[in-house]
């Protein structure tokens, strides 16, 4: 039996406001824009969850979508009430976020594991008291200096990196149907494999 569940909640991480809209830290929100276009639904303000919220259906199932507006470091304040209200098992959550440890153009699915210094993931883990949720990690590259990380994630990518990030989102969108239906191994294989050479199962 698979250790994975069908997805019931998709969370895209970012910071609210035009100041942050085009920054690397907001690639989770960029991806949600793709999702709303492809599955044809809207995200609207929802005060109960301190974020933008919407729903779409796939295979007769309702998938909830949340974009926290609590600022990145307090993402859990948005996610936890939503999870509690709909009684969602953390294993049914997909969190989409920027990843320093992956280069632009690379994206990976990962279940559980450490937060890797990502404050949004850290706060969600604390709020849910578990790390057992699925993550789509969109590579933004590392500035190679710890002192430059904050400036890096809160700045706009250059055009080559911007294009690479969007190409990675193109690839990720192609496996979203599989992810929503809980076929995570198949989705990972397709996303992580190039010509059948490389595979990262977890």
Q: Check: CB of residue 53 under 8 Å from CB of residue 43.
A: yes
161-202 confidence digits (pLDDT tens): 999 999 999 999 999 999 999 999 999 999 998 643 344 433
pLDDT by residue, tens only, the chain of 202 residues: 467 899 999 999 999 999 999 999 999 999 999 999 999 999 999 999 999 999 999 988 999 999 999 999 999 999 999 999 999 999 999 999 999 999 999 999 999 999 988 999 999 999 999 999 999 999 999 999 999 999 999 999 999 999 999 999 999 999 999 999 999 999 999 999 864 334 443 3
Q: Parse the chain into domains and list their residue ranges.
A: 9-192
**pLDDT for 194:** 66
Q: Check: CB of residue 177 under 8 Å from CB of residue 57.
A: no
Phi, then psi, of 200 in degrees rounded to 5: -120, 100
What tokens were used for 42?
A: 């809207």
User: 56: which strand partners?
Assistant: 63
Burial class (CB in 10 A: 0-12, 13-18, 19+), 135: buried
State whether the Cα torsion 129-131-136-141 is positive or negative. Answer: positive
Q: Assign 91 to helix, strand or coil.
A: helix
Q: Check: CB of residue 94 under 8 Å from CB of residue 134.
A: yes
**pLDDT for 15:** 98
For strands 44-46 and 9-12, give the pairing. Answer: unpaired
Burial class (CB in 10 A: 0-12, 13-18, 19+), 36: middle
CATH number of this structure's domain 9-192, picked from the four choices 3.40.225.10, 1.10.10.10, 3.40.50.1470, 3.30.300.20: 3.40.50.1470
Whole-model pTM: value is 0.94
Rounded-to-10 torsion of CA 112, 30, 171, 39: 100
The candidate with the shortest Cα–Cα distance to 3, out of 92, 63, 77, is 92
Residues annotated as part of the active site: 25
Cα gap 165→58, rounded to integer Å: 26
């Amino acid at each position: 039996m698979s250790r994975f569940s069908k997805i019931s909640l998709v969370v895209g991480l970012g910071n609210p406001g035009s100041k942050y809209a085009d920054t690397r830290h907001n690639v989770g929100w960029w991806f949600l824009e793709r999702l709303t276009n492809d599955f044809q639904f809207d995200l609207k303000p929802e005060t109960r969850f301190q974020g933008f919220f919407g729903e779409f259906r796939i295979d007769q199932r309702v998938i909830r979508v949340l974009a926290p507006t609590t600022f990145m470091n307090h993402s859990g304040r948005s996610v936890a009430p939503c999870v509690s209200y709909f009684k969602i098992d953390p294993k049914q959550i997909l969190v989409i976020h920027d990843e320093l440890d992956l280069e632009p153009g690379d994206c990976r699915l990962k279940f559980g594991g450490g937060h890797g210094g990502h404050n949004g993931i850290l706060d969600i883990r604390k709020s849910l008291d578990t790390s057992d949720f699925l993550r789509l990690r969109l590579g933004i590259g590392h500035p190679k200096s710890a002192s430059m990380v904050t400036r890096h994630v809160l700045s706009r990518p250059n055009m080559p990196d911007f294009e690479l990030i969007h190409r990675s989102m193109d690839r990720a969108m192609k496996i979203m149907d599989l992810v929503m239906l809980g076929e995570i191994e198949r989705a990972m294989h397709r996303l992580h494999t190039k010509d059948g050479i490389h595979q990262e199962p977890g």
